[in-house]
Amino acid sequence: MTATPVAPDKPQQSPRPAHDATLERRLRARGRRGRLDVRLSPYLYISPFFLLFLVTGLFPLGFTAWVATRQWNTITGDGGVAVCGATCGTTDPSVLANFQWVLHQPAFWDALRNSFSIFLISTIPQIVAALVLAAILDANLKAKTFWRMGVLLPYVIAPSAAAIIFSQIFSDQSGLINTFLGWVGISPVPWHANTLASHIAIASIVNFRWTGYNTLIFLAAMQAIPRDVFEASVVDGAGRVRQFLSVTIPMLRPTLIFVIITSTIGGLQIFDEPQMFTQGTSGYGGPNRQFLTVSLYLWDLGFNHVSIGQPNLGRSAAVAWLLFLIVVVFAIVNFLLTRRIASAGGAHATKSRTKEVAR
């Protein structure tokens, strides 16, 4: 849904009814078998996707909702309608009990705060850096491919592996950064203890992997800007920086919006980095939940700290649904925002695209 407003340009050739009509007329002459072929084939072609998607995407959605209303333990299974228990001071079964329980947990709210914070800290510098890098790469460089591949290299490193490496860099006492700081007489940064510091550390693992990727996306968009626009701005007496800010950036708006939206969806689900960033083997997300994210909370609740007698999978499912609702709200806000921004500039293309897709 969020993708709709920034869906790619309608390609030059849209399915023209005229063609379809001729095609069908000719085919109709080909008898029953051919007609059946024509009529059924489209469904046949989309069915593998939809069947698989039904099993792995759609059915789980509904099933999660069901589990979320139950006292479902990972080991012992379904234990009846959910009960909130001591947390909300009631033992009455209710389909909303797991949601109530989750909303009563300070851990959930901390996780939400952290997810947003890490998302912001990872997205904003990443986009700024990617824009600047793209601007540099947009020039007539020697060995273009080398530089482009160079910035993209971290993309093939799995986030979990990157996180292991960075945990050696960000260790509180023996890590590379704090050792260096110690050498120059600066007091060490509590990377795992301080909430903001931990978010910065995790965000830098995210940025390590994705900055180059976004750079290339922006680079492609920049190269698509007609050069006469730049020429006009030069005639108007704009300097390089001025040109970047008032010509390049506005022209990149759709791409920017797109990158922001995808970063949001991804950022709210961040898991690998905070999981591997956790020190020791318990207390995932830090002893005071400094960097516990919603996804990490979901996993810890449902799969990591499993005890008989707790409806942990039910509560985990409730977290999943709350996460879903948050993403949907975000998507709608994004959608409305981008519509407004889109209508400010270059609107026609986006609108027709939206219509096309929605048809």
Partner 1 sequence: MSREVSVATLRQIGGNGVANAAARKRRLAVTSEGRRPGWVSYTILTVVILISVFPLYYAVSIASQATTDTQYGVPALRPGSGLFRNLSTAFGEIDFLTALGGTVLVSAVCAASTVLFSTLAGYSFAKLRFRGRGPLLFFVIGTMAIPTQLAVVPLYIMMARLHLFGTLWAVMIPGLVTAFGVFWMTQYLEGALPFELIEAARVDGASMIRTFWSVALPAARPAAAMLALFTFVAQWTNYYWPMLILGPNKNAMLTVAAAALKGARFTDYTLVMSGVVLTAFPLIVVFFFAGRQLVSGIMAGAVKG
Partner 2 sequence: MKNATRRGFGVVAGVAVLALTATACSGDGSDDGSGDAADAGGQVTIKVSTFNNFGFGAPSGTRPGADLWKKYEAEHPNVKIEETVAASSDDARAAFNTAISTGTGAYDIQAVDVDWMPSIMAQPDAFVDLGSVAGTNDWLDWKKEQGTTPDGKVVGLGTDIGPEGICYRSDLFAAAGLPTDRADVAALLGGDSATWDTYFEVGQQYTDTTGKAWFDSSAAIFQGMVNQIQYSHVDADGNIIAGTNPDVKAAFDKVTAAALKGQSAGLQQWSDDFNAAFKSDKFATTLCPAWFVNNIRGNAGDDFKGWDIADVFPGGGGNWGGSFLVVPEQSKVKDEAAKLAAWITAPEQQAAVFAAASNFPSSPTAQADPTVAGKTDPFLNDAPVGTIFANRAKAVTVVPFKGAQYFDIQTKMADALNRVDVTKEQTPEQSFDQWLQDVKALS
Which of partner 2, partner 1, none is residue 248 near (CB under 5 to 8 Å by kind)?
Answer: none
Structure tokens of 281? 């083997």
From the CB of 306, what's the least distance to partner 2, in Å? 4
Would you say 22 or 288 has its CB closer to partner 1?
22
Using rule CB under 8 A, residue 14 touches partner 2: no
Instruction: Determine the angle formed by the axes of helices 312-344 and 97-104, rounding to 10 degrees.
Output: 80
Structure tokens of 264? 């949001």
Considering just the CA atoms, what is the radius of gyration of the chain in Å?
A: 26
Judged by CB under 8 A, the chain residues 151 through 210 that form the site for partner 2 are 167-168, 171-175, 190, 192-194
Which of partner 2, partner 1, none is residue 290 near (CB under 5 to 8 Å by kind)?
Answer: partner 2
* Interacting residue with partner 2 among 22, 41, 47, 87 (CB under 8 A): 87
First and final C-alpha spacing in the chain: 14
Which of partner 2, partner 1, none is residue 310 near (CB under 5 to 8 Å by kind)?
Answer: partner 2
Would you say 255 or 290 has its CB closer to partner 2?
290
* Interacting residue with partner 2 among 2, 69, 71, 74 (CB under 8 A): 74
Burial class (CB in 10 A: 0-12, 13-18, 19+), 330: middle
Which of partner 1, partner 2, none is residue 22 near (CB under 5 to 8 Å by kind)?
Answer: partner 1
Using rule CB under 8 A, residue 223 touches partner 2: no
Query: Which DSSP letter does residue 71 get?
Result: E
Using rule CB under 8 A, residue 94 touches partner 2: no
Binding mask 104-123 vs partner 2 (x if CB under 8 A, - otherwise)? -xxx----------------
Cβ atoms of 88 and 100 within 8 Å: the answer is: yes
Would you say 206 or 301 has its CB closer to partner 2?
301
Would you say 199 or 353 has its CB closer to partner 2?
199
Q: Looking at beta carbons, which pairs linking 147-156 to residues 24 or more positions away fall under 8 Å?
A: 148/216, 148/219, 150/212, 151/211, 151/212, 151/215, 151/216, 152/212, 152/213, 152/216, 153/212, 154/208, 154/209, 154/211, 154/212, 155/209, 155/210, 155/212, 155/213
* Interacting residue with partner 2 among 159, 212, 267, 286 (CB under 8 A): 286
Q: How many residues bind partner 2 (CB under 8 A)?
A: 38
Which of partner 1, partner 2, none is residue 86 near (CB under 5 to 8 Å by kind)?
Answer: partner 2
Using rule CB under 8 A, residue 314 touches partner 2: no
From the CB of 240, what's the least distance to partner 2, in Å? 31
Q: Under 8 Å CB-to-CB from 278, ≥6 apart: which residues?
A: 284, 285, 286, 291
Of 10-18, 25-33, 37-45, 300-308, the segment contacting partner 2 by CB under 8 A is 300-308
Would you say 131 or 216 has its CB closer to partner 2?
216
From the CB of 279, what's the least distance to partner 2, in Å? 4
Helical spans, DSSP H, in the chain = 17-28, 31-53, 59-68, 97-104, 106-137, 144-152, 159-169, 176-183, 195-223, 227-235, 240-243, 249-251, 253-267, 272-277, 294-299, 312-344, 347-358
- Cα gap 69→33, rounded to integer Å: 50
**Binding region for partner 2 (CB under 8 A):** 74-77, 85-87, 105-107, 167-168, 171-175, 190, 192-194, 279-283, 286-288, 290, 303-310
